[in-house]
Structure 1
Amino acid sequence: MPETPAAGGRTIGIVGLGRLGSAVRAVCRADGTRVCLTASRRTGWLAEAVPDVLIDASAPEAHPDVLDYCAGHRVPLVACVSNLSDTQWKALAELAATVPVVRATNLSFGHYLQARIAEFTAAYATGRFDPVTTVRERHPLGKAHRPSATALALAGTWAAASGREVADIADERSGLPVSEHELTHTWDGESLHVRHHVGSWTVPARGALAAADWARAAAPGLVTMRTVYDDLTARNRT
């Protein structure tokens, strides 16, 4: 692999060329971002230069190589693989001592807003207005993990903000790409549904590039997409 940084402009490395990785590559092509490194099971690692940021959209099996590359070349990482083992999550946190690492359970801005709405609801729905809260998620057939990492994250957000666990997490495998996640609050005779639907892989791909832009200028440390979007939206308001 090359030791020389890429010259001029923003550069991205992509590990994993499945649905998300291919979408990131297409978005880079559309907006003129140079992809100077790709890696996949079929081609191996192909690198013209060291990228500014590496986006990992692969699988847990590639994790050791990804961490070794980022540590060896001091490259920030956007980690989009959600089904890592506890040991791998620990290794990711150790990498963050030397480079910026974004743990991207869900990359979309809509999910960020959905989580913020859950926190807002928790602040007001207390006492006599305490709801029964549930999470529903839908992915197409073939989605490996049930429930999804995003559904678990939504449930965790509600529990942290309200002090109450969700009553149920329902998972469904049907329909079209990419996903739906819904938080439902039920009172006596009424309910509130906060549903987020993603219909194109371009949506998380653009989120991955937003995270890469953020990580490119960040200090070492481990953050989530919540921190990235908090920072980016704060900049927009100033």
Structure 2
Amino acid sequence: MPNTSAGADPTIGIVGLGRLGSALETACQANGTRVVLTASRRGGWAVEAVPDVLVDASAPEAHTEVLDYCATQRVPLIACVSNLTDTQGKALDELAEVVPVVRATNLSFAHYLQVRITEFTAALTTGRFGATTTVRERHPLGKAHRPSATALALADTWAGASGRAVADIADERAGLPVSEHEMTHTWDGEALHVRHHVGSWTVPARGALAAAHWARAAPPGLATMRTVYDDLTARTTT
């Protein structure tokens, strides 16, 4: 568990000013968190000071530059770019040897609860109570890749917890922002649906801020949002 004596809000750097990066910048302005670095493809890097934590909401093409900056300045990283190559994933592992790195496939708290529910369900649906399990995800038109990283992570969570692969992963490109992810467990004559819907980019922006607070005081190492929320929820119950 990281040291929680850091005091004031961390200063933030934001790489990528698309939908998530812009929402994070707005969230920081709303709660008085200082953004001391921004970087975008069009505007380049604008650095007022070295941030306490850097949030990468850009694209795989910027990955090397982001990791070089964090390694040189010893800045914790919240890595929100989901469609990284295996080589880029290994580079994150190497960075985590010197600074805290949170690999954030999905930033929202309710998704964390969906993962915990998936694990709980897997523990109970064995033997005669075994279910057929599927994953469905929906994003608006223009989503860069399919299935989404979150859908694949949910399938991996189910397989790891139950020892059984999901029967299908369905992806849909339609509707309004931001996303839906649904786990369906089916038995003879009944089904259980656990659906998580996000309707605003403010939601993942809040998650990125929570991760930044956590990472600021964390030791070097690779973590996930599961680690972050496990720790933060444990603090509220002790």
What TM bracket, shorter-length normalisation? over 0.9
Aligned to 2:207: 207
Letter in 1 for 2:123: A
**Corresponding position of 1:115:** 115
Q: Does 1:92 align with 2:92?
A: yes
User: Which 4+ runs in 1 deviate beyond 4 A?
Assistant: none
Is the aligned partner of 1:40 residue 2:31?
no
Q: How many positions carry a matched residue from both structures?
A: 231
Corresponding residue for 1:152? Answer: 152
1:163-204 Cα deviation digits (max 9, x unpaired): 000000000000000000000000000000000000000000
Q: CA deviation at 1:30?
A: 0.1
What is the identity, as a one-letter code, of the residue corresponding to 2:101? V
Q: Which residue of 2 aligns with 1:230?
A: 230
Following TM superposition, by how much is the alpha carbon of 1:144 offset from its aligned partner in structure 2, in angstroms? 1.2
Measure the CA separation in 2 of the matches of 1:9 and 1:175.
36
1:9 is displaced (CA, Å) by 4.9
Do 2:9 and 2:213's aligned partners in 1 also have CA atoms closer than 8 Å?
no
Q: Between the two structures, name the one with larger relative contact order (CA 8 Å, sep ≥ 6).
A: 2
Q: What SS is found at the alignment partner of 1:207?
A: helix
Distance 1:47 1:192, change over 3 A: same
Percent identity of paired positions between Structure 1 and Structure 2: 81
Q: TM-score, normalised by structure 1?
A: 0.96
Tell me what 1:193 maps to: 193
Match runs of 1:61-80 below 5 Å: 61-80=61-80
Question: Equivalents in 1 of 2:194, 2:105: separation in Å?
Answer: 19
Q: Could you tell me how far apart the structure 2 residues matched to 1:13 and 1:144 are?
A: 24
**What are the residue-to-residue correspondences of 1:45-56 with 2, within 5 Å?**
45-56=45-56
Identify unmatched segments of 5+ residues in structure 1: 1-7
- State the SS of the aligned residue for 1:193: strand
Local SS of the residue matching 1:230: helix
Measured in 1, the distance between the counterparts of 2:88 and 2:154 equals: 22
Q: Deviations over 1:8-59 (max 9, x none)?
A: 7520000000000000000000000000000000110000000000000000
CA deviation string 1:103-140 (max 9, x = no partner): 00000001000000000001111100100000000000
Asked if 1:178 corresponds to 2:178, the answer is yes
Q: Compute the RMSD of aligned alpha carbons.
A: 0.7
Q: Secondary structure at the match of 2:223?
A: strand
The residue number in structure 2 matching 1:31 is: 31
Do the aligned partners of residues 9 and 204 (structure 1) sit closer, same or farther apart at CA in structure 2, a change above 3 Å counting?
Answer: closer
Structure 2 match to 1:81 = 81
2:92 counterpart letter in structure 1: L
Unaligned runs of 5+ in 2: 1-7
Structure 2 SS opposite 1:182: strand
Letter in 1 for 2:28: C
Provide the rounded CA distance (Å) in 2 between the counterparts of 1:117 and 1:70: 34
Q: Is the 8 A contact 2:14 2:55 kept in 1?
A: yes
What is the DSSP-based 3-state SS (H/G/I as helix, E as strand, rest coil) of the residue aligned with 2:75?
coil
Write out per-residue CA displacement over residues 89-108 of structure 1, whole angstroms, 9 at most, x where no aligned residue.
Answer: 00010000000000000000
Give 1:211 shift: 0.3
